[in-house]
Amino acid sequence: MSQSDEQSGLGPRRLAWMAVTETLKRRVPLDDVMEELARAENLSSRDEALARAIAIVTFRRLGTLGHALRERLNKPPKDERLMHLLATGAAQILYLDVPDHAVVDSAVQLAQNDPKLHHAGGFINAVLRRVAREREAILAENDPWLDTPTWLEERWIAQYGEASAQTIAEAHRSLASVDLTVKSNPEAWAERLGGVLLPTGSIRLRERTAIRELPGFDEGEWWVQDAAAALPARLLQAKPGERIADLCAAPGGKTAQIAAAGAEVLAVDRSAKRLVRLEENLARLNLKAETRAIDAEKLDAEPFDAILLDAPCSATGTIRRHPDVAWTKSEEDIRKLAGLQSRLLDKAASLLKPGGRLVYCTCSLEAEEGERQAEAFLARHPEFTRQPITPDEIGGFDECITPQGDLRTLPSQMALAEHDRSGLDGFFVARFVHTPS
């Protein structure tokens, strides 16, 4: 990045624009694209954070932005990159605390510096200035379904009913909370960190702040983990000395929970790179686990006392913090991933001791990756029975327990009157016990 780009603020805006374009084109996670592109841009940490904020809010409000732009264009441009540049500009004007003139000027400059868009400067200037003038009218159109792809809207209405599905869509338009899991004494840490102690045992920070600067980070007293993501390992009920496998373990929050309980953990993940990060996290936390970079389906090991399977899934339950998921996944992805989940469940079943426990979870809102998967597993494996989850295991948070005794959290749950960042990730958790005849 040149010095003039840095002074004009073009660097982070170009990165955001490129990241949105590449994420939609390649249908891969925004985080991966941002990491890849940021290396080439050589931005400061502050500028990289701005780029990420722009890209995230663009995806969070992509439907609203597209609707607003189309209504103000006589004929939408065929060039998707131009539409994405307009969308990232409109996102800043409507949802970020950025001066309008800075947004418009930088968008025009980005177009003029691009060989294929150098002619579009005047067009971009006119469109974004109109968005700025009509800001209040655009924000007044408050239909939450605008920011949910139709195929997901139809699925959620069918599964949860129209009213509940709409609250999910509304939750996805809010900024996700920052939750922490602590090794011990959550009441004291909640007070020290100025957070809210949730009934499930997680701590929710009241303010977004530099995580590494908080008390206890360097000492390894806690780690960042969504309140819902912390529940599966708690429900595994790991005991000191038990031999437990955490399949598909990275980035390692659940591994840390199991290790902190005193169990002997094998953390398995197919990505060696992700396991390096897991090992780094465990080192900071002064926790130990054996790691193995291998596809869990190919794992050969002595039987375990318990297994946690956090299976690869569509991740539609994480749209609050990863809004790109809504626009990069498809029903075909869900079908393929459901097949993988079935195979992983069968593999996990083969690796358990008689009487062993298996917790299966996904951060998905889709029944094929949750409720239906659990029922199909029990039908295939009569040697397993469901161990129902009880309210006292999750701090009395009984609204998320299904009639079958599984756990189903929704982004619209965990509403806190005193906190502007309510909600939690959408998760499904089922617990099974091997009951040999």
Q: What is the pLDDT of residues 91-145, one digit of tens each?
A: 999 999 899 999 999 999 999 999 999 999 999 999 999 999 999 999 998 898 9
pLDDT at 206: 87
Q: Are 356 and 389 in contact (CB under 8 A)?
A: no
* Cα(340)–Cα(210) distance, integer angstroms: 37
Residue 259 structure tokens: 């290790």
pLDDT band at 372 (very low <50, low <70, confident <90, very high): very high
pLDDT at 4: 46
pLDDT, averaged across the chain: 94
Is 363 a known active-site residue? yes
Residue 15 structure tokens: 């990165």
* Cα(52)–Cα(31) distance, integer angstroms: 9
Whether 194 shows a pLDDT value over 60: the answer reads: yes
The class that CATH gives domain 3-142 is mainly alpha
Query: What whole-number percentage of the chain has pLDDT above 70?
Result: 97
Give domain limits for the chain.
Answer: 3-142, 227-434
Beta bridge partners of 309: 247, 360
Q: Choose, from 248, 313, 363, 400, the residue flagged as catalytic.
A: 363
Beta bridge partners of 428: 362, 408
Whether 38 shows a pLDDT value over 80: the answer reads: yes
Fold entry, domain 227-434: Rossmann fold (3.40.50)
Whether 1 shows a pLDDT value over 80: the answer reads: no
59-83: average pLDDT: 93
pLDDT at 131: 97
Q: What is the pLDDT of residues 245-260, one digit of tens each?
A: 999 999 999 999 999 9
Q: Is 30 helix (H, G, I), strand (E, B) or coil?
A: helix
pLDDT at 117: 95
Q: What is the pLDDT of residues 97-111, one digit of tens each?
A: 899 999 999 999 999
pLDDT at 419: 57
pLDDT at 144: 87
17-34: average pLDDT: 96
**In degrees to the nearest 10, what's the CA dihedral of 154, 155, 159, 164?**
-60
Query: What whole-number percentage of the chain has pLDDT above 90?
Result: 89
Per DSSP bridges, beta strands 195-197 and 203-205 are antiparallel
* Cα(198)–Cα(209) distance, integer angstroms: 19
Whole-Å CA distances, 282 to 54, 217, 225, 395 = 31, 12, 14, 27
Whether 168 shows a pLDDT value over 70: the answer reads: yes
75-82: average pLDDT: 90
- Find all residues with CB under 8 Å of 283, minimum gap 6, and list them: none
308-316: average pLDDT: 97
Whether 83 shows a pLDDT value over 70: the answer reads: yes
Beta bridge partners of 434: 384
353-369: average pLDDT: 97
* Cα(280)–Cα(402) distance, integer angstroms: 36
